Structure 1
Amino acid sequence: MKQWKIYGILVFVMFIWGFNLPAVKYLVSEVRPVTVSAFRIFLASLTVFAILASLRMVRKPTKQEWKFIFLGALLNVVFHHYFLSIGLSMTTSSNAGLILGTGPVITAVLVSLIMRIYPSRLQWVGVLLGLFGVSATVLAAGDGTSGLSFGDAFVFISILAQVFSYLVISKAAKTLDPRLLTAYMFLIGSIVLFIISLIQEPGEIKAFFDVTPMFWLAFFGSGMIGTAVGHMLYNYSVGQAGPSKAAIFMNLNTLFTLVGSSVFLGEVISSRHIFGLVLIVGGVIFGSGAAEDMWRKHKLKKSPS
């Protein structure tokens, strides 16, 4: 697939995830976080399997691929969603947004150290621009970043686990379609989370009988679109573009989260948000390599044939 189509998919995924975060925040306020995450991710696994079955893409993994599936399930599903759901129930969305924005920097550093894939100077410029943009956007919320908490630490651990999972996904993508990898990871991860919920949140399943219709709308929307479609497309993009380039687009997540919060929660978007948007978009253009691609094409057009 052409690189620009991958970039388009990644922007679309960030849009989905941005609107998904307020939904998850709402869900964990109605049902305790680990329990609701286990069922939400199980729904996501069924959704991905159904989509792939219709495309005749479901197959039995090899022994080597199962190793990647289990490791990916622990990092990308169990650790990431466990700590993220717990963290969201304990911290503000502004703090979570700022911490989520560190993902591209962590990814770039870890990929450089572990896989020895070194970003160019322009891509490092993009990483820094994106980080500044995320900071400016979140700080526009006022005092949302004051006072770090255990919730902030849990969100950071969730991002760290997710970054490591991208390295696993990138390796597994050589033989196993990342979309099928996503389905298996969700299935195994949801079972592990359900076992944890029985120990940590006994009897919480009863809470599902007391929720409102709005809860079920958010639950199915988050599970089937935000989690299933979002992660399926993102993991596919990681396999195509690599973890560093794909992670750059995570900067847009904070922006779309604020837009979603404005639409659903009535929060105001200020001029500082617009300033952050400019930096974030610039960071994505430079960090993804799109600026270098455009410059190369420009030079090719100018060079004599």
Structure 2
Amino acid sequence: MLNAKSLLDNQKTNIQNGTLSYYYLASTGAVVLWSASFIATKLAYETFAPIQLAAVRTLFAVILFWFMRKITSNNEQIQKEDRMRIALSGFLGITLYFAIENIGVSMTSSSNSALIVASFPAVTTLLEFFIYHSKPNIKKVLGIILAIIGVAVLTQINVDGNSKSMLGNIILIGAGIVWAFYNFITRDLTNKYSAMTLTYYQMLAGFIFFLPFVIIEGKTCRMPTITSASALIYLSVGCSIVAFLLYNLGLRKLSSSISVSLMNLVPVLGLIFSILILHESVSTIQILGGVIVIIGVILSSIQKG
């Protein structure tokens, strides 16, 4: 018969497990929303240039966040000692990441983009080894090696005979490196500020940093169509606001590698959306590379019990 202490311990464990599941669900929800972002991005390119799209998307998100903070009377401010970190996280996670990703997606297929993004957890885990000097186990090492092999397979693919697609694939890998550093910088801040406050100031900093990139891109604005406008709304509200809120919430209790590991849902849903919505054809090589990446991600993200 269990004593009172054992019952209390079991109850606390159940509560902790339930709380942890809440944060897993938050991160998973963000990934599900992001999985359709490649489709929306492709549709938005009907009238928007890559960096221009990222900047307008971020501006809309900043405006919506401002109204949300007013409605909820959220007056939380960033402390002086954290402002540089917030600015840096906004530059990495908003400006640099979306600029690189949008350029990469414009050069390759949305299905291939989703498969390459699936390797980001392994990239994060690999960088954690070097930066935080964590001790890798055999499963993690094997997982990283498999993920690298899978990405190597994917980057060799030319989509519809387009020679630029290989460069686009490589550019997307760069986005993964940037995303990993965004996770490292943001992880501690998530326990200090609310998800809304943190995301709002990251978006604000990200938009400011976008301005010189838009000038360099030098594309004139075009009147959006119903399709491109709808895609922009989805990217702004669904991906830039809801998904970022959920993801930053998940980072409060989950390690950066675990949070990013949930992105292995992206290639599965990304492939489905690409086939159903954009009618893209998926080759056997793409599927093979994607499967290798996903297996590698799962192995590299296993935590010691």
In the superposition, the TM-score normalised over structure 2's length comes to 0.78
Partner of 2:103: 86
Partner of 1:262: 275
The 8 Å contact of residues 48 and 232 in structure 1, kept in 2 or not, is answered as no
Counterpart amino acid of residue 213 in structure 1: I
Aligned counterpart for 1:33 among listed residues 50, 57, 71: 50
The 8 Å contact of residues 94 and 202 in structure 2, kept in 1 or not, is answered as yes
Aligned counterpart for 1:247 among listed residues 260, 268, 274: 260
For residues 269 and 151 of structure 2, what CA distance do their matches in structure 1 show? 11
C-alpha distance 28-44 of structure 1, shift in aligned 2 (>3 A)? same
Counterpart amino acid of residue 169 in structure 1: T
SS across alignment from 1:239: coil
C-alpha distance 135-233 of structure 1, shift in aligned 2 (>3 A)? farther
Aligned counterpart for 2:229 among listed residues 216, 219, 226: 216
Shift of 1:230: 1.0
C-alpha distance 229-149 of structure 1, shift in aligned 2 (>3 A)? same
Q: Using the TM superposition, name which of 1-10 and 69-78 deviates more.
A: 1-10
The 8 Å contact of residues 55 and 210 in structure 2, kept in 1 or not, is answered as yes
Partner of 2:186: 169
C-alpha distance 135-266 of structure 1, shift in aligned 2 (>3 A)? farther
The 8 Å contact of residues 178 and 239 in structure 1, kept in 2 or not, is answered as no
Pairing 1:45–2:62 present? yes
Shift of 1:113: 2.0
Partner of 1:68: 85
C-alpha distance 117-47 of structure 1, shift in aligned 2 (>3 A)? farther
For residues 126 and 5 of structure 1, what CA distance do their matches in structure 2 show? 27
C-alpha distance 272-33 of structure 1, shift in aligned 2 (>3 A)? closer
Cα deviations by residue, 1:181-209 (Å, 9 ceiling, x for unpaired) = 2211111211221332133225x22x1x2
RMSD: 3.4
Q: Using the TM superposition, name which of 41-50 and 164-173 deviates more.
A: 41-50
Cα deviations by residue, 1:94-151 (Å, 9 ceiling, x for unpaired) = 4423331221111001122212445665566666777788899x79xx8649866332
C-alpha distance 68-265 of structure 1, shift in aligned 2 (>3 A)? same
For residues 193 and 226 of structure 2, what CA distance do their matches in structure 1 show? 38
Shift of 1:279: 7.8
SS across alignment from 1:176: coil
In structure 1, stretches of 5+ residues that fail to align are: 294-305
The 8 Å contact of residues 170 and 243 in structure 1, kept in 2 or not, is answered as yes
SS across alignment from 2:78: coil
The 8 Å contact of residues 103 and 247 in structure 1, kept in 2 or not, is answered as yes
Q: Using the TM superposition, name which of 125-134 and 45-54 deviates more.
A: 125-134
SS across alignment from 2:45: helix
For residues 111 and 121 of structure 1, what CA distance do their matches in structure 2 show? 15
Cα deviations by residue, 1:146-188 (Å, 9 ceiling, x for unpaired) = 8663322322222211111110001322423344222111112
Counterpart amino acid of residue 189 in structure 2: A
Cα deviations by residue, 1:241-265 (Å, 9 ceiling, x for unpaired) = 0211111111211111112112312
C-alpha distance 269-144 of structure 1, shift in aligned 2 (>3 A)? closer
The 8 Å contact of residues 34 and 194 in structure 1, kept in 2 or not, is answered as no
In structure 2, stretches of 5+ residues that fail to align are: 1-15
The 8 Å contact of residues 130 and 251 in structure 1, kept in 2 or not, is answered as no
The 8 Å contact of residues 130 and 281 in structure 1, kept in 2 or not, is answered as yes
**How many residues align structurally?**
286
Partner of 2:248: 235
Q: Using the TM superposition, name which of 59-68 and 173-182 deviates more.
A: 173-182
The 8 Å contact of residues 147 and 294 in structure 2, kept in 1 or not, is answered as yes
SS across alignment from 1:250: helix
For residues 275 and 155 of structure 1, what CA distance do their matches in structure 2 show? 19
In the superposition, the TM-score normalised over structure 1's length comes to 0.78
Q: Using the TM superposition, name which of 118-127 and 40-49 deviates more.
A: 118-127
The 8 Å contact of residues 126 and 144 in structure 2, kept in 1 or not, is answered as no
Counterpart amino acid of residue 13 in structure 1: A
C-alpha distance 216-64 of structure 1, shift in aligned 2 (>3 A)? same
